[in-house]
A and B are shown apart, each in its own frame.
Chain A
C-alpha cells in the first residue's frame, strides 16, 4: 500500500477549509465511515457547514440511478404474482459512461407491484413490503417505515426537496369521497403531506392539507420540481397544478397556448412535465411523427411558454411511451436529456450532437415481474432517521 513518506505535510496539518475541499467530494456512505478516522474528522463531517457545502456540491454532479426489480423464476407463483422480489439499485457515472457496481440490494416480500414509487431527483424510493410501506434513502441506505394513510384511494404521490432546510416533502393525493359505497370515488382530490427532516425522526402521521384548489381530476400522471415548487399534471386535469414546497400553497398554471397541446393535454398520455436546465418544461410526443416537442416556461408570472427543442425519436422506435425527462449537464454549453421510456428502457439524448445512447443493461428482459427504472441521483447529505 502507498503511504505518506517523511518530509511532506500530512493531511492532518491541513486547515479545516482545505480538508473540507477534499472530503466534500466523497460519497456520504464513505464519510460515515471516515467519521471514525479521528476526532477532527468527526467534528468536520458532523459540522452543518460542511454538510451544506457537500449538498451544494452534489447538485452540480447528478448521476444516473437504475433501480431494477428482479424476481427469481422459482419464486413466481402463477396466480398471485411474485411473493419475493429484490430491488437492485445501481448508480452510473454519466461522464465516463461506466456502470458502477451493485450499489444496494433489498429483498422485499409482498404481492403489490404498484406500491413502488421512485421520486424524480430525490434519492428516495417508496415501496410496500407486506402491509407496510417503507421509504428508503439510497444515499445512506437507511430504511424507515412510513405512517399509514387514513385514506385508501391513491391518486398519486410526488416528492419535492427543499435545499435551504434540507427537507423532503412527500405529497400524497387521494379521493376523499371514495368509500365502500362509492368505489370509484367522486373524482375530487384531497391531499396529505409528510415532511422528512434531516436527522429524523420520520413523523408518525400524515398531515392533511385543507386549501387544495377544487380540482376534478384523476391520477397524478407526471410531476417535476423547479426551484422551490412542484408541478403536477393529472389525468383529466385542465391545468397544471403547482405547489410551493416551503409555504405549501397550491396554484393553477395554464398549459402552453398552442392549440394542440392545450386541448388534448388533459387526456393524452403523451404529455409529460420535466425540469430541464432549471426551467419547467412540457414535453409532447407526436406519435404519428415520432417527434417530441419540448416547450419551456420562460416566464412564470406571465405564463409565457416558448418552444425549446424538437427531438426526432424515429430511431428509438414508433410505439413508445415517454414516462419522464431529466437533464444531465455535461459541460456549460452541452448536456444530455434522459428520456425515460415505458418498458424498462431509457436513452440519453445529447443536445449538441443530437445523438442518442442507450442506458441500462441491454440483455435485460422486461416483463411483468422484472423491470428497470431510471432516474437522477444526487449524493445528498440527508439522514432519514427512524420513525
Chain B
C-alpha cells in the first residue's frame, strides 16, 4: 500500500517545493533554496528513505536575519551583474554594523544556505572581534559558559599542566 502512494507523495512534495521556490527565489534572487532542498532530498534518498516522509528542514532563521541575508544576496547579484566585482567596502559596512547575536545568525545562515561569501564574511568579522581581546573578554562577548581553563579554575592542576605543555602560549 505504501509503495503505491509514493508517486502521489512525490508530486505533492514537488508542488509544495515549487510554491516555496517561486516565493523565495523571487525574494532571494538566486536559487539557494533549491540547492539546499535538492541536497536534502538527495541525502534522504541516499540514506534509504522514501519520498513520502521527506521533510525539508529550512534553516531556523528569524525574519530579521533573513532580511539581512536577502539584502546581502541582492547587493552581490547587482554588483556582479554590473561590474563583475564585489565591493569590499560595502561588505565591510554591511557586516560592521551588525551586533554579535545577529552576526552568529548570519554566519550560520551563510553556512546552512551555502552562501560562501556571507559565511566567510561573518567568520572573518567574528574572528576580527577576537583580535586583541583576553580570553576572559571573549568569554563575556560570546557568552561562553563552559569552564574556563586557567590557573584559577576549579582544577588548578589542569591549568598548570596546560601552561607547562604550551609554554609558547604564555611568552
Which residues of chain A have a CB within 8 Å of any CB of chain B?
Answer: 1-5, 7-12, 14, 18, 21-23, 25-27, 29-30, 32-40, 42, 140-142, 383-384
Once the chains bind, are B100 and A36 in contact (CB under 8 Å)? Answer: no
Once the chains bind, are A39 and B139 in contact (CB under 8 Å)? Answer: no
What A residues does B143 contact at CB under 8 A?
3-4, 10-12
- Beta-carbon contacts of B140-168 to A below 8 Å, as 1s and 0s? 11111111111000000001001000101
Provide the main secondary structure of the chain B interface. helix
Once the chains bind, are B146 and A38 in contact (CB under 8 Å)? Answer: yes
What A residues does B150 contact at CB under 8 A?
36
The residue of chain A having its C-beta at the shortest distance from the C-beta of B143 within the complex is: A4
A10's contact among B119, B142, B147, by CB below 8 Å, is which? Answer: B142
The residue of chain A having its C-beta at the shortest distance from the C-beta of B101 within the complex is: A8
What B residues does A23 contact at CB under 8 A?
127
Once the chains bind, are A18 and B107 in contact (CB under 8 Å)? Answer: yes
The residue of chain B having its C-beta at the shortest distance from the C-beta of A20 within the complex is: B123
Asked if B104 is an interface residue, CB under 8 A from chain A, the answer is yes
In the complex, besides A37-B135, A141-B168, 9 extra interface pairs with C-beta distance below 8 angstroms are A1-B141, A2-B141, A10-B142, A11-B144, A18-B111, A21-B123, A30-B130, A35-B149, A142-B171
Q: How large is the interface on B (under 10, 10 to 19, 20 to 34, 35 or more residues)?
A: 35 or more
B146's contact among A12, A18, A383, by CB below 8 Å, is which? Answer: A12
Taking the closest CB of chain A, its distance from the CB of B89, in whole angstroms, is 12
Once the chains bind, are A9 and B147 in contact (CB under 8 Å)? Answer: no
What A residues does B102 contact at CB under 8 A?
8
Known contacts A1-B140, A2-B100: A25-B123 contact under CB 8 Å? yes
Once the chains bind, are A37 and B169 in contact (CB under 8 Å)? Answer: no
Asked if B99 is an interface residue, CB under 8 A from chain A, the answer is yes
The residue of chain A having its C-beta at the shortest distance from the C-beta of B171 within the complex is: A141
Whole-angstrom CA separation of A7 from B147 in the bound complex: 21
Once the chains bind, are B149 and A37 in contact (CB under 8 Å)? Answer: yes
Cross-chain pair count, CB within 8 angstroms: 112
Once the chains bind, are A33 and B127 in contact (CB under 8 Å)? Answer: no
Once the chains bind, are B134 and A33 in contact (CB under 8 Å)? Answer: yes
Asked if B108 is an interface residue, CB under 8 A from chain A, the answer is yes
Asked if B131 is an interface residue, CB under 8 A from chain A, the answer is yes
Once the chains bind, are B141 and A4 in contact (CB under 8 Å)? Answer: yes
A8's contact among B105, B123, B129, by CB below 8 Å, is which? Answer: B105
Taking the closest CB of chain A, its distance from the CB of B124, in whole angstroms, is 6
What B residues does A37 contact at CB under 8 A?
135, 138-139, 144, 148-149
Taking the closest CB of chain B, its distance from the CB of A277, in whole angstroms, is 22
What A residues does B171 contact at CB under 8 A?
140-142
A39's contact among B101, B131, B149, by CB below 8 Å, is which? Answer: B149
Between A and B, 11 residue pairs with Cβ closer than 8 Å are A4-B101, A8-B104, A22-B127, A23-B127, A25-B123, A25-B124, A26-B130, A35-B149, A35-B162, A40-B146, A42-B162
Which residues of B, 53-74, contact A by the 8 Å Cβ criterion? none
Whole-angstrom CA separation of A318 from B170 in the bound complex: 48
**B108, B119, B126, B147: which has the most chain A beta carbons within 10 Å?**
B126
Once the chains bind, are B131 and A26 in contact (CB under 8 Å)? Answer: yes
Taking the closest CB of chain A, its distance from the CB of B86, in whole angstroms, is 11
Whole-angstrom CA separation of A40 from B104 in the bound complex: 18
Whole-angstrom CA separation of A26 from B127 in the bound complex: 6
Whole-angstrom CA separation of A34 from B135 in the bound complex: 6
Known contacts A34-B130, A42-B162: A12-B144 contact under CB 8 Å? yes
Once the chains bind, are A22 and B126 in contact (CB under 8 Å)? Answer: yes
Once the chains bind, are B135 and A36 in contact (CB under 8 Å)? Answer: yes
What B residues does A5 contact at CB under 8 A?
99-101
Whole-angstrom CA separation of A363 from B33 in the bound complex: 56
Known contacts A33-B135, A37-B138, A39-B147: A9-B169 contact under CB 8 Å? no
Once the chains bind, are A38 and B147 in contact (CB under 8 Å)? Answer: yes
**B130, B147, B162: which has the most chain A beta carbons within 10 Å?**
B130
What B residues does A30 contact at CB under 8 A?
130-131
What A residues does B100 contact at CB under 8 A?
2-5, 8
Once the chains bind, are B138 and A34 in contact (CB under 8 Å)? Answer: yes
Asked if B137 is an interface residue, CB under 8 A from chain A, the answer is yes
Taking the closest CB of chain A, its distance from the CB of B61, in whole angstroms, is 11
What A residues does B145 contact at CB under 8 A?
12
